[in-house]
Amino acid sequence: MRYDKSVYAPAEEFTRMRIDPARTERGQTVTLNHMRPTKNGLVCAEGSAAAATLPSAVSRIYLTEDGVYAYESSLKSLYNVSKASHIPTIPTEPVAVLFHETETGIRGLYSVEKNAIRYIRGDTVLSIGSVGGSCAAMHHGRVFTADGRRLRFSAPFSPDGIVQTERDPDKAGYIDFAEGKGSIIALVSFRERLYVFFEQGIMKMRAEGEALNFDATEMPFRGGKILQGSVAACGDRICYMTASGLYSFNGTTADFLEEKRSEINYLLPIHATCFNGKYAAAVRLTNNRTALYVYDFSEKVGRFVLEKGMTAAEGDSFVAGTTLYRFSETGGASVGYDSSLALTLSTPPRAIAWVRVEGSGTFEIRTNAENVTYTAEGDQKVNIGSKKKFTETQISVTAKGAAFRIRAIEIAWRKEDGD
């Protein structure tokens, strides 16, 4: 959020500030909903359109190479969206649904649950393990799962039982990692290696061919405790969240991307994936709404996607009520939320005099100075009637419709003695 301190007229009774809401500085925060930065200002970020009607409410959706699946907790089943069919006998919500194809072309799914693993082929559900896992990945023809410090793997290219006691190169097995890094919380197949993410560390595994030749190398790590569900591969990097913020790992080193977001409740489940080359995590906000947190690597800024009634989201899809929606790169929110931003500035005790949104479109503007919503066109000044002083200025701007552009926000405070 850049601002131009030179915009100051001594003859006036105001101190003014012109702010670029796409960039933040110390003492300034901005939350973007359905807005993305461009070279010429903020514009509508995503559109959405109904893609399918679901037969019942769902708690989570899964994007696989075989299409979209949804978990129906009331029916204890997976719903195949493209085929409009139910897969019964899935008693608990899977932590992962993985597509699998054997060397002979047999296609199926693994449903990895906390205490079970099931192999699904067509309408047939086969229980193949009484011990499940907290995370899972498909890598070089094997399915890998983890529970605590134990990493389990199936036989190669086969839906074989995954719980074995021996380490036969042609069968399933497991590896117990040493203490010191906490539990395994994510598995990611990336650049021909399997990356094992612990609460406090990262290991790179060569895990192809015979299991007796598997090996692991500890990688540099930073950021503090990695949050369960926040790890996702995005193009040429793997991203993860910690208590301090968002990080990017390129297979060798980890770099800081963005500070922790105060809007997210990090104590509740996170489900991260990749959406159009951007990091996308389904999160719960502190106001208990479900949202999609999206980090744009090209613009180096995070933002939120809010849709009315959103109960589940993953990648380019979300559920509201019993409808599955798909996001698009353009357009407006389809189920109730407009594009908006919330701006907070720390200042000396001042009273807001007026606000102006530089750009085009129609906007609703609110401040913490008064409980009033103003409607204004782009470049139109909005005078604030209240003279209450605040050390924290809060301004929200909501665009009415998808055809808008915000180049900057100009704020004026009433001058105090000594200014």
As to burial, measured by CB atoms within 10 angstroms (0-12 exposed, 13-18 middle, 19+ buried), residue 418 is: exposed
pLDDT in tens, 20-65: 877 767 777 888 888 888 888 999 887 788 899 999 999 999 999 8
Beta bridge partners of 50: 325
Nearest to 18 by CA among 214, 9, 325, 206: 9
**How far apart (Å, rounded) are the C-alpha atoms in residues 248 and 230?**
12
User: Residues near 42 by Cβ (< 8 Å), separated by ≥ 6?
Assistant: 21, 22, 32, 35, 36, 341, 359, 405, 406
CA 303 – CA 121 distance, rounded (Å): 39
CA dist 396 and 400 (Å) reads 13
Listed in order, strand segments (DSSP E) in 317-361 are 317-320, 323-328, 340-350, 352-360
**So where are the chain's domains?**
14-45+340-414, 94-219
Of 235-244, 301-310, 350-359, give the lowest mean pLDDT range: 301-310
- 353-392 residue pLDDT tens: 999 999 999 999 999 998 899 999 999 999 998 888 988 9
| Residue 374 to residue 364: CA distance in whole angstroms | 5
Q: In the predicted model, what is the mean pLDDT of the chain? A: 87
User: How many Å apart are CA 31 and CA 132, to the nearest integer?
Assistant: 38
Distance CA 293, CA 98 (A): 23
Task: Average the pLDDT over 287-311 and give the result.
Answer: 87
Contact 238, 188 (CB under 8 A): yes
Residue 252 has pLDDT above 80, yes or no: yes
- The whole model's pTM is what? 0.84
What CATH number has the domain spanning 14-45+340-414? 2.60.120.260
Residue with tokens 């100009």: 410
Least confident of 50-59, 156-165, 269-278, 302-311: 156-165
Q: With 70 as the cut, is the pLDDT of residue 170 above it?
A: no
pLDDT of res. 269: 92
Neighbouring C-alpha atoms within 13 Å toward the C-beta of 222: 13
Q: Please report the DSSP string for 234-301 in residue order.
A: ETTEEEEEETTEEEEE-SS-EEEEEEPPTTB-TTS--EEEEETTEEEEEEEBTTS-EEEEEEETTTTE
Write out the two tokens for 323.
């409808």
Pairing of strands 271-275, 254-259: unpaired
CATH 2.130.10.10 fits 94-219, yes or no: yes
Comparing C-alpha atoms, which of 90, 336, 131 is closest to residue 325? 336
- Whole-angstrom distance, CA of residue 411 vs CA of residue 5: 12
Q: Which of 282, 238, 286 is nearest to 261 (CA)?
A: 286
Distance CA(183)–CA(193), nearest Å, equals 20
Among 33-37, 153-157, 268-272, whose mean pLDDT is lowest?
153-157
At residue 232's C-alpha, the angle toward residues 25 and 33, to 5°, is 45
Question: pLDDT tens digits, residue range 192-233?
Answer: 999 999 999 999 999 988 888 899 999 988 889 999 999 999
User: In the chain, pLDDT over 70 holds for what percent of residues?
Assistant: 90
Alpha carbons 253 and 317: distance in angstroms, whole number = 31
In sequence order, what E strands does 177-244 have?
184-190, 193-198, 201-206, 215-219, 232-234, 237-242
Distance (Å, whole) CA 278 – CA 167: 39
b/e per residue, 327-337, with b = 16+ CB within 10 A? beeeebbbbeb
Q: What is the largest CA-CA distance in the chain?
A: 84
Q: What is the pLDDT of residues 333-360, one digit of tens each?
A: 555 567 899 999 888 888 999 999 999 9
Q: Are strands 245-249 and 254-259 parallel, antiparallel or unpaired?
A: antiparallel
